[in-house]
Amino acid sequence: MTHHASTRRALLCAAASTAALFALAPAHAQAPYPNKPIRLVVPFQAGGATDVLARVLGQKMAASMGQPIVVDNKPGAAGIIGTDAVAKAAPDGYTIVLSLSNSLMTNEFLYDKLPYDTQRDLTLVYQIAMAPLVLVVHPSVPAKTGPELLKYVAANKGKVAYGSYGVGAYPHLAGAHMSLTQQADMNHVAYKGEAPMVQDLIGGQIQMAYASALAAKPHIDAGKLKAVGVTGERRMSTLPNVPTLAEQGLKDEAYRVTGWLAIAAPAKTPKAIVDRIADEVRKATQQPDVRERVAAMGFEIKDSSPELFAAAWKQERPVWERLIKQSGAKLE
């Protein structure tokens, strides 16, 4: 009896040990995330604002996550090439993209066909910062507020020209919207970049434009340009005395939306990994030196999450679609 009992106990122990090993196997087979370098794709040229922000965040995230964040510039086609590379990458959290709202939102309406569908092929992770613009006019324009400017352009039909730094960019869309709603028949002048647009505005070749605080503030301070208002939901930290257009009574969503910078991952990336990346981005953007750097670039840090970003994206989408369609803007 003793022999049989001890044999039975041995068999039970062996079975229990085997079961425990099988139960632990998945945990050992899948190492905790991250266990290798993370590739952060920037779909624009090195040295630009998006690239600089990616490197600042990447450094902070790498220190916290214990793995290198490798910034990979894949420029071309208004952010489409790099964003598409991420959309087609493995959904394992090791390839993510830091991009602007154009490649994650507006390109859908500007191009007849994209190689990816943001809703189907990407997971929205974190909206890092907003990129509000300041509506500036030449000092000769007798308008100090948004409502005054609307009245001015309506009363001077066909005589006002506004600038933009590219067809389909927000300055073009917002200007076209103002022209349409006020029946002002304004002339659109598209420049190859923001700098020549601002120079022509200072020179009086155009009368108004939406510009970044970075480009406009020195000229506002010098009295060469007049700030009428800023886009978005809140005042800019770099121009705290300039009210938003919404504050001034311009409630149209066209004046409330702004461009933004955000992180996205391939669709079907596990939620636990998406949440981890979002948490790391949040921690990085809460650091004072990062906030200072971002503000100096003309952006406004936003507190976000995958859920908040998805909700904001869904809310903004029809506004951008309307602005683009009514402007007639198309890119190839």
Structure token pair of residue 196 = 């020549």
- pLDDT tens, position by position, 82-106: 999 999 999 999 999 999 999 999 9
- pLDDT tens, position by position, 125-177: 999 999 999 999 999 999 999 999 999 999 999 999 999 998 999 999 999 99
The residue from 255, 286, 318 where one domain ends is 255
Tell me if 20 is assigned to some domain: no
- Residues in the chain, overall count: 332
> How far is residue 75 from each of residues 118, 194, 222, 254, 255, measured CA to CA in Å?
18, 19, 35, 28, 29
Most confident of 17-26, 179-188, 296-305: 179-188
pLDDT above 90: residue 323: yes
- At 30 the pLDDT is 64
Domain that holds residue 237: 134-255
- pLDDT tens, position by position, 10-64: 544 544 444 444 444 444 456 899 999 999 999 999 998 899 999 999 999 999 9
Tell me the C-alpha distance between 131 and 260, whole Å: 5
How many domains does the chain divide into? 2
What is the CATH classification number for the domain harbouring 115? Answer: 3.40.190.150
Provide the percentage of residues in the chain whose pLDDT is more than 70. 91
Q: Are 233 and 214 members of one domain?
A: yes
Could you tell me which residues come within 8 angstroms of residue 305 by beta carbon, excluding any fewer than 6 positions away? 126, 278, 282
Query: For residues 60 and 4, which has the higher predicted lDDT (pLDDT)?
Result: 60
Q: Are 178 and 314 members of one domain?
A: no
Q: Are 297 and 240 members of one domain?
A: no
pLDDT above 60: residue 239: yes
- pLDDT tens, position by position, 263-297: 999 999 999 999 999 999 999 999 999 999 999 88
Q: Are 248 and 155 members of one domain?
A: yes
Q: Are 216 and 281 members of one domain?
A: no
Tell me if 213 is assigned to some domain: yes
Q: Are 239 and 297 members of one domain?
A: no
Q: Are 143 and 65 members of one domain?
A: no
